[in-house]
Amino acid sequence: MKPRNPLRIALLAYPGMNLIDLSGPLQTFVSAGRVAASAGVSDPRPLYEVRVLSSRGGALMTGAGLSVETEALEALDNLDIDTIIAPGGSVGERFETDPALVAWIRQHAGRARRVCSVCTGAFLLAAAGLLDGKRVTTHWDWALRLQQQFPAIEVDPEPIFIRQGDIWTSAGVTAGIDLALALVEQDYGHKVAIATARQLVMFIKRPGGQSQFSVPLVSQSSENARFAELHAWIASNLKNDLRVENLANRVNMSPRTFARTYVAEQGRTPAKTVEAMRLEAACRALEETDLPLKSIATETGHGEEQNLRRVFQRQLGVSPAQYRSRFSAHQE
């Protein structure tokens, strides 16, 4: 059954925030309403009522230098709230949480169906105590700082967004649009979400499990370039035998020394890098080609088709066929 609409969304704002962290989700919800009729929603009422709130209300300056008009937090005190979204952004190297926003989130989270963050908005949810014991994400450049400041949470810097029950966290910048599209899909179905993505001229509607960044690119952009050539070779030889012994031989190191040195410099095991590169290559093949799954499994080093299915279910929560049906450029 479709939820009763309009659904009221509280977008929180503060000085120095990222403009796109606010405007991206805002435009997504507005666009969803514009395409609703063409996507099969017969109810003429708006899908969403979006309110932009700040601790004091009035105009505030975003990090992009553009002023936005806001309402005071008290504006929703006596109203139902479906979704709370805390955008991100910081003027310095340390995220400074607004105590009034944190207190409001803590007070109103229990009233909302779901609470979300974009980018460093996760610091606000964490300060409110909503993320303890949960796996969350944020912009990859802030992941370590979030983990260090709030050790009771598990920060995963890779996914575009993560859902943990009624808590959703996303990466930064344009990932807020991906999060908002996922919320639209949860509320009104896949057809409305895809129609909204088309309206926004999105190339694809990305799944939450998709990585924030290209694995080979990140691997090669490490400050220590010792393994850059190895990573380039791995990316070009995914169907080869890429066990640690063979990779170690490639860089003229013993397997034990290679494994220890690699983890120390890259932050994960060689096997994890190989798995991530193979998964990324398989996703790209599903998006860009019409090759059968058996061929994709072979070419990306997964071997059997069933191995490819297991990896997709474990890492992305969907089958390769489901991934292709949603994101292939060959789909009508």
Active-site residue numbers? 119
Token pair for 215: 């694995």
The answer to whether 68 touches 26, Cβ cutoff 8 Å, is no
* Alpha helix segments (H runs only) across 113-159: 121-127, 143-149
Cα angle, residue 233 at apex, residues 245 and 212 outer, rounded to 5°? 105
Token pair for 39: 């996507």
| b/e sequence 255-293, b meaning 16+ C-beta within 10 Å | eeebbebbeeebeeebeebbbbbbbbbbbebbbeeeeeb
Q: Residue 256 corresponds to which amino acid?
A: R
| b/e sequence 199-216, b meaning 16+ C-beta within 10 Å | bbebeebbbbbbbbeebb
Q: Pick the closest to residue 274 from 299, 253, 295, 244 (CA basis).
A: 244
Please say whether the dihedral angle defined by the alpha carbons of residues 9, 181, 168 and 155, taken in this order, is positive or negative: negative
The alpha-carbon radius of gyration of the chain (Å, integer) is 22
Token pair for 68: 């936005």
Token pair for 148: 């260090």
Q: Where are the beta strands (DSSP E) in 87-221?
A: 114-118, 135-136, 154-155, 161-164, 167-170
